[in-house]
Structure 1
Amino acid sequence: MTDAGQSPLDRVELDAYFALIEVAGLLRHAVEQQLREQGDLSYVQFQLLALLGLDSPTGSERMTDLADGVVYSRSGLTYQAGLLEKAGLVTRAAAADDERAVLVTITDAGRERIARVLPGHVAVIKDLLLKPLSRAQVETLRSVLEPAREHMRSAPPRSARRRRRKEGDD
């Protein structure tokens, strides 16, 4: 695996890369299966509900901020939010301070759905990812992945980049 002007990955780098990709794929598959079975949710729908219901103090966020948070295309996110709205798990409305912005708000039914799937979600993560690791290894994993994530987030894919707002917009 080389690029013009770049040295190839050595065996340790290549093994680390393939291990990360395989672990992420296996974990994602198991999580998606659990979410479908216990909550009839896609992974992205779960992320949206979790951001709104667990991370947002108000339970509402702008659609563009949600897209940035889940690293998903804005058009794809609009579709997923529409499915959640049809299911009664979120509402969408124009933001009070900017009619061009769409505000997504979790409903009580959305909070109930998150509460229903969260215990199984945590169990899958603990069983597959955390169980075979010591606490020190989990701390090392976090310390290794956080700078890589921050580096990648500094230049996210086009669909996940924050839009520049005009002066005075928030």
Structure 2
Amino acid sequence: MADALEPEQLDTYFALMESVSLLHHAVEQQVRAAGELSYIQFQLLARLADAPDRQLTMTALADGVVYSRSGLTHQAGLLEKAGLVTRATSPDDQRATLVTITQAGLDRVAAILPGHVDVVRDLLFDPLSKEDLDVLGGIMGRVRDHMRAQPPRSVSTRKRRT
């Protein structure tokens, strides 16, 4: 059995998880109110809006938002039904599906974004000094890069029932 976390590690872990939960809840509420989308749907649209040619493969989307491929397929289907994205087979790889944001999807992101920025700025950035922001950005970048060094979730194999 692994040793317990040190008190400082445990305090930091709890502070991080509580902060992430509070920010996530506020963002989820804002996205629902401003755009009638779930947080994951907004993440998908925002990533597509920022992507080259405003399209990504399903695998790239799943890895980018850290979401299962099956869950992403469901969410992409809902977004497609709402006219916010289109899906098509990639001309470069017949096994890959390209997801492209539509003008209606871009309009929805544009409607949500101002309030989204306000929430993030108010809850996350306003209490930080410039120096705090630089330090936090460096720390979180290192942590993210360390975590991303592991294989992406989209290549994880399912555990088989025995």
Fold agreement, TM-score > 0.5: yes
Residues 1:63 and 2:69 are matched in the alignment = no
Q: Which amino acid aligns with 1:96?
A: P
How far 1:98 sits from its partner (Å)?
A: 2.0
Superimposed CA distance per residue, residues 18-57 of structure 1 (whole angstroms, 9 cap, x where no aligned partner): 0000000000000000000100111111111111102x12
1:68–1:162 Cα contact (<8 Å) kept: no
Asked if 1:143 corresponds to 2:143, the answer is no
Query: Separation in 2 of the partners of 1:30 and 1:160?
Result: 28
Task: Give the unaligned 5+ runs of structure 1.
Answer: 164-170
Q: TM-score, normalised by structure 2?
A: 0.92
Q: Is residue 152 of structure 1 aligned with residue 108 of structure 2?
A: no
2:15 to 8, 15, 19: 19
1:125 correspondence with 2:147: no
1:112-167 alpha-carbon deviations (Å, 9 max, x no partner): 0011101111100000111111111111111111111111111156x34489xxxx
Residue identity in the other structure for 1:91: T
Of the structure 1 ranges 148-157 and 125-134, higher mean CA displacement relative to structure 2 is found in: 148-157
Q: CA RMSD in A?
A: 1.5
Q: Calculate the TM-score normalised by the size of structure 1.
A: 0.88
Q: Tell whether 2:4 aligns with 1:8.
A: yes
The reply on whether 1:36 has 2:32 as its aligned counterpart is yes
Structure 2 SS opposite 1:132? coil
Deviation at 1:12, TM superposition (A): 1.1
* Alpha-carbon distance in 1 for matches of 2:15, 2:154: 25
Give the deviation of 1:99 after TM superposition. Answer: 2.1
Deviations 1:37-90, CA, capped at 9 Å, x for gaps: 100111111111111102x12011111111111110000000000010011000
Q: Could you tell me which residue of structure 2 aligns to residue 166 of structure 1?
A: none
Q: Judging changes above 3 Å, is the alpha-carbon distance between structure 1 residues 124 and 102 closer, same or farther for their aligned structure 2 residues?
A: same
**Higher helix fraction (1 or 2):** 2
Gaps of 5+ in 2: 158-162
Question: What is the identity, as a one-letter code, of the residue corresponding to 2:34?
Answer: Q
